[in-house]
Amino acid sequence: MVSDSRHISERIDRNAADVYQYASDPRNLPEWAPGLGGSVENVDGRWFVDTPSGRVGLAFAERNEYGVLDHDVTLPSGEVIYNPMRVIADGDGCEVVFSLRRLPDMSDEDFSRDAGLVQADLTRLKHILEATD
């Protein structure tokens, strides 16, 4: 089944390695992506986030030198949502790109709302990382 995707990006004036290091640590999610959830916990090597929809599992791609931050979110129903995400070096800064995929039966309004939420998270990530050394 083919689904719609929207690539949402933010340029961050910080080197890609720093951005990757921060964004790949699930403990930082409540700070830069509070819409996902406010509480993150590691249980026996697996990450969980308490969200408004219930507790979800979170699994990032293995650490890598390419800036790949792809991650699976396992919903309380057991459904797994794959989320492609990259940190791409660009001179002294970088670009963070999140590929939002439309879920089955998702309305245009919900897809646009989710895109706005992702953009807000990436903008928050930018502000946090540009404000710290």
Least confident of 6-10, 71-75, 103-107: 103-107
The lowest-confidence range among 1-15, 20-34, 73-87 is: 1-15
Average pLDDT taken over every residue of the chain = 93
Span 28-73, pLDDT tens digits: 999 999 877 788 999 999 999 998 888 999 999 999 999 999 999 9
Euclidean distance between CA atoms 128 and 12, whole angstroms: 10
Which comes out higher in pLDDT, residue 15 or 133? 15
pTM over 0.85: yes
